[in-house]
């Protein structure tokens, strides 16, 4: 079962358990069903899967009204860029309703980061970091099927924003959000923190570092962005954050701050510092070729710690070692 199929299955389970659960959005009844993720729910619960007009601000307002009336709606945006139009309701209503005398709203919003076929600057960007600083909502970026299930279940506790990367839909849903390379993961010199679809590319880089340079490392993909992550071991000398969004003011900046806090507290006693690898601080190119160059590659990720450690860099002609993460030590 792949990531997209797991989303479809967990959505139906959620709607079966909760007769107040709804799905709404543009394209949710389409035959392709948001990359296949809403088709099963529409087949099983056609009356609770609602096709809507193309008006994201209005839809998010309707989400608030439905939740205040006792429903538990899940809105689907086909691109995370549309969250700009939802922001007013998310920040001023959804996040704050439970703190202003009303009951906590049980709502969720799914949105998709659109990398993959030249979507262009207005249909690819990740906006997740904008909402990590908004109290009252939980922002998730699940890299695994289990992570997505946990994100959907979190709707019972607080409003939830779920960021899904388009490149994940065909990935094995059983992929874990942790992998280690060399020395059973106990003596990792490098800790990689990789968000969303960057996890697989980062695992490719970590495998190259172990097989060709003998440098052990661990890779973790944080999924609930407001939650802290634990370091792989106290042997970590360098932390490298790999993001699918821009570096300045993004998730990588927040992760670097958390890592520095661990170093000051003594959780990472051998840590020398942290580095960030992310796309350039400019809009995504529309050209499919340029888009592929815009996102960090395994070679770029692997060479970042090598440069700081004074080790020999990989050259552009070296083949990438592809890795399908299976968890546990390599």
Highest-confidence range of 79-88, 131-140, 285-294, by mean pLDDT? Answer: 131-140
pLDDT-above-70 percentage for the chain:
92
- pLDDT at residue 118, as a whole number: 64
Confidence of residue 261 (pLDDT cuts 50, 70, 90): confident
Across the chain, what does the average pLDDT equal?
87
Q: Spell out the domains of the chain, with CATH numbers in brackets.
A: 3-168 (3.40.50.970), 178-309 (3.40.50.920)
87-94 LR contacts (CB < 8 Å, sep 24+): 87/130, 88/57, 88/60, 89/57, 89/60, 89/61, 89/63, 89/64, 90/60, 90/131, 90/134, 90/137, 90/159, 90/161, 91/134, 93/61, 93/64, 94/60, 94/63, 94/64, 94/67, 94/136, 94/137, 94/159
Residues 6+ apart with CB under 8 A from 246: 278, 279, 280, 281, 282
- pLDDT at residue 263, as a whole number: 83
Which residue intervals of 18-82 are DSSP H helices? 33-36, 39-44, 56-68
Q: What does pTM read for this prediction? A: 0.92
- pLDDT at residue 330, as a whole number: 31
Average pLDDT on 303-314 reads: 90
């Amino acid at each position: 079962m792949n990531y997209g199929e797991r989303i479809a299955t967990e959505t139906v389970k959620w709607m079966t358990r909760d007769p107040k659960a709804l799905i709404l959005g543009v394209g949710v009844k389409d035959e392709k069903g948001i990359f296949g993720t809403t088709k099963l729910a529409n087949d099983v619960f056609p009356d609770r899967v609602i096709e809507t007009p193309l008006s994201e601000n209005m839809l998010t307002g309707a989400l608030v009204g439905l939740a205040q009336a006792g429903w538990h709606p899940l809105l689907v945006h086909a691109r995370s860029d549309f969250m700009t139009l939802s922001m007013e309701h998310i920040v001023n209503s959804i996040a704050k309703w439970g703190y202003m005398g009303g009951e906590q709203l049980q709502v969720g919003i799914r949105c998709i980061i659109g990398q993959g076929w030249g979507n262009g600057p207005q249909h690819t960007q990740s906006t997740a970091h904008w909402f990590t600083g908004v109290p009252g909502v939980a922002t998730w970026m699940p890299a695994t099927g289990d992570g997505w299930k946990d994100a959907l279940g979190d709707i019972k506790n607080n409003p939830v924003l779920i960021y899904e990367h388009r490149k994940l839909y065909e990935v094995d849903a059983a992929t874990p959000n942790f992998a280690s390379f060399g020395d059973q993961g106990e003596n990792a010199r490098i800790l990689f923190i990789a968000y969303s679809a960057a996890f697989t590319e980062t695992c490719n880089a970590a495998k190259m570092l172990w097989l060709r340079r003998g440098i052990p490392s661990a890779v973790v993909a944080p999924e609930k962005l407001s939650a802290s992550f634990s370091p792989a071991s106290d042997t970590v000398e360098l932390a490298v954050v790999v993001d699918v969004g821009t570096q300045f003011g993004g998730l990588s900046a927040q992760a670097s701050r958390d890592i520095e806090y661990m170093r000051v507290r003594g959780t990472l006693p051998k840590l020398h510092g942290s580095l960030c690898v992310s796309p350039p601080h400019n809009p995504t190119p529309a050209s499919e070729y340029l888009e592929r160059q815009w996102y960090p590659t395994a070679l770029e990720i692997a060479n970042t710690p090598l440069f700081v450690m004074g080790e020999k860099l990989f050259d552009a002609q070296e083949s990438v070692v592809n890795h399908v993460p299976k968890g546990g030590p390599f």
